[in-house]
Structure 1
Amino acid sequence: MKLRVGLITSEFPPDHGGVETYAWQLARELGSRQNLQITVYAPPRSADIKPPPGVTIKPILQSCMGLDWPKLKNEPIDVWHALSAGHAWIAEKNRTVIVSVHGNDFLAPYPLTARPAFASAGFWWFRSWAWRNLSSLWRIKTRRMLAKALPKANALVANSRYTAEVLLAKYPACTNKTHVAWVGVDPAFFEVPHESKGKVPQFLTVCRLSEERKNVDLVLRALATLKDQFEFEYIIAGEGSLRQELERLANTLELGERVRFVGRVSDSELHTLYAKADLFILLASIIPGSHEGFGIVYLEAAASGIPSLAAKLAGAAEAVEEGRSGFFVEQPDLISISTALNQFLSGTINLNAEGCREFAREFSWVRVADIVETIYQQNSVKLTK
């Protein structure tokens, strides 16, 4: 008999991001396994998504435990897997529950699943207003929920050793049931062709332009110090509230056509950007409540044969191997970034595509799913005893 697994996620295609990628790729790999029956409980906006083979998508999730539990409690599921910490509330419902944690989701939780349901007829208008205008209150309630629910989960799956360390420092009660499974990389990135590089080096950043800790502004400032010494082009892919501010900064620094903001791109467009790039750049800081839990984009770049420049902080230190798939600055400050880019542009640092791809091959969704499936089986056996 197949083990019936319910994956709960607020972050799923058509949305883009690291957790969305994690949810889709893990569901796809688990769905290929003959002894598992996979159902994804996702938001209504996922209704038009064609599921991977072996996977059923139920687009019913409202990301509010008071609204979601009545829909989920009678579902024929043997093991529930919350794909981010915000849905750990289900561990308080006397079910077998696994929770994936990514770093920021248990520090500054999203979504705010402890928001009140206001489910009675005629209250939908008030619910919309209250959710939007009282978010600080629901954030506090969701954090309190996490403090109770996470220790009650049967097992937790961290995306890096760093994430596991941060989790256990905050919730020591999770010590004996936290596993590190890392993440994988979509095999399609290994098919990105090696294009002959042009005379002008091309840099690439792919991220949400909504968090200052990504330090895209510092990269622009560093490049401004090098513009009279070297030719280069810098492509920034992604959308967010900081985009206009960053565009203005690029103009103020007189970087002109050397910097291009291309917005959100499709998968095929992303592959083209990687094919043309010489260096991937993402230099994220650690700030209170937020850090780079791992960074799937570093693996995507490496699988495409592109080295990365990263800050040797948080999960990025596990997502890049120095001298093999990239190189580091110790801290993302202007002088350090300028020096590192100078070394790359002058040829002092030279990394080859095959070394990058060899590193990326160590991270597969098959391995992640193997670890997760073992955890399912161990805990489903406990349930039947």
Structure 2
Amino acid sequence: MKFLTITIDYLPMPGGVARYIDTFCEAFGSSMHVVADIGDVQTSVCDKTFSVEYRQFMQQKWPRWMGAVHELAKRDVDLIFTHHVLPLGIACLMNKRRTNTEYVVVLHGMDFDLATRNMWKRWITRQVLREARAVVTNTHALAQRVERFVHVEPLVVHPQPYVQAAKSISSNTFSIVSVGRLVERKGIQRVLNALTLIPHLHDQLHYSILGGDGPFKQELERMIIDLGMEDLVTLTVDPTDEQIQYAYKTSQLFVLPTVTTALDREGFGIVYHEAAQFGIPSIASNIPGVDEAVINGQTGILVNSDQELIDAMTTLFHNEELRKTLGDNAREHVRTSRAMIEDLKQNLGL
């Protein structure tokens, strides 16, 4: 069978969605072909088990997705995947009505929120989801919301780690790490503020922040200076995969207490699973979706407030046995979640 993924978000673009799409497609091997319109982002040759084609198919004028309709009409495939219910889901729907080519819609969280914010979007989103061969969500929490919205039962496939696991490196310094784009909602500023309240531990720990350049970078740089943490904190902007991997290898605790805003929120958090591969427990915010990446009391600790964040960091700093138990459980949690994509393929009869 021949599969096609059509997308407007793909590597080397930053962010969890681009990486989710990549690992998702990897599961289909050479049967998958990706067509990506990522605008002016600099691309490079991809070394993948599947093929990737970068081309501009979105129209400059409205409706921009009509260009995707023309692109799909040229493709002779058995099944189409899209990770953008709007606008590419509309193109998949129109293509199905013209060519009978079935499609699968994968939802990530914020995309579903945006697709249901007004009457017109809710109407067309329901059409797209109802006519899909399958609807996939990245969390069970999102699956429940989608089912209530459209009375279709989604299949769930958790995001898989992008950075490959490697053997950890021991260190005399207690290393805390955060990985995520430098935006306010990642909650890195909460970690910096928490560190100011545990000064008695500063000579025994180091905090590494690795993130793609974002609008909050200058604020974080300012905070590090204003709080007098230049020797305690390292900020690496636009890190390579090798730098991220090394940070995981040398760390004992992953902390990313994300913040929900009206315009954005964490849907799942691939980075929690990446850290888990290295046997690192996580501290995260207690919000739907994230609570599937980090299982409270089993693979890490979920927090509801800044004080709980401080308490969790302090507890895991002092309790090596608990860190190891949570870390071992986290590694196993990631291993078992890999079966989800195979369950999806079986449900689709592939």
The TM-score, its normalising length taken from structure 2, stands at 0.86
Match of 2:180 among 181, 185, 207: 207
| Matches of 2:200 and 2:345, distance apart in 1 | 54
CA shift for structure 1 position 156:
0.6
1:180 corresponds to: 156
Match of 1:342 among 300, 307, 314: 314
2:80 corresponds to: 80
Q: Supply the AA of the counterpart residue of 1:217.
A: Q
Query: Are 1:16 and 2:17 matched, yes or no?
Result: no
| Matches of 1:43 and 1:178, distance apart in 2 | 26
Can you give the 5+ residue segments of structure 2 that lack an aligned partner in the other structure? Answer: 59-63
1:236 corresponds to: 209
CA contact (8 A) 2:69 2:92 kept: no
2:111 corresponds to: 105
Deviations 1:16-48 (A, max 9, x none): 32111111112122015xxxx211111265753
CA shift for structure 1 position 182:
2.0
Q: Supply the AA of the counterpart residue of 1:347.
A: N
| Matches of 1:291 and 1:165, distance apart in 2 | 17
Change (3 A) 1:166 1:307: same
Q: Supply the AA of the counterpart residue of 1:49.
A: V
Change (3 A) 1:51 1:105: farther
Aligned-partner SS, 2:231: helix
Aligned-partner SS, 1:256: coil
CA contact (8 A) 1:184 1:368 kept: no
CA shift for structure 1 position 260:
1.2
1:113 corresponds to: none
| Matches of 2:91 and 2:346, distance apart in 1 | 21
Aligned-partner SS, 1:248: helix
Change (3 A) 1:196 1:106: same
The 5 Å alignment of 1:113-152 reads: 145-152=124-131
Change (3 A) 1:230 1:348: farther
Match of 1:309 among 263, 279, 283: 283
| Matches of 1:213 and 1:48, distance apart in 2 | 30
Aligned-partner SS, 1:26: helix
| Matches of 2:83 and 2:27, distance apart in 1 | 14
The 5 Å alignment of 1:1-385 reads: 3-31=1-29, 37-43=31-37, 45=41, 48-53=44-49, 55-63=50-58, 64-86=64-86, 87-93=88-94, 94=97, 95-108=101-114, 145-169=124-148, 172-173=149-150, 175-186=151-162, 188-189=164-165, 192-198=166-172, 200-210=173-183, 212-231=184-203, 232-238=205-211, 239-329=213-303, 331=304, 333-347=305-319, 350-352=322-324, 353-364=327-338, 367-377=339-349
CA shift for structure 1 position 61:
4.2
Report how many residues are paired: 332
Tell which deviates more after alignment, 265-274 or 341-350: 341-350
CA contact (8 A) 1:322 1:328 kept: yes
CA shift for structure 1 position 140:
9.7
1:129 corresponds to: none
CA RMSD for the aligned pairs? 2.5
CA contact (8 A) 2:110 2:267 kept: yes
Deviations 1:262-294 (A, max 9, x none): 012111111100011110011123333533221
Change (3 A) 1:27 1:348: closer
| Matches of 2:42 and 2:129, distance apart in 1 | 26
CA contact (8 A) 1:103 1:290 kept: no
Tell which deviates more after alignment, 218-227 or 151-160: 151-160
CA contact (8 A) 2:19 2:162 kept: no
| Matches of 2:321 and 2:57, distance apart in 1 | 49
CA contact (8 A) 1:10 1:42 kept: yes
CA contact (8 A) 1:61 1:68 kept: no
Deviations 1:240-261 (A, max 9, x none): 1101111111221222211111
Aligned-partner SS, 2:104: strand
CA contact (8 A) 1:91 1:150 kept: no
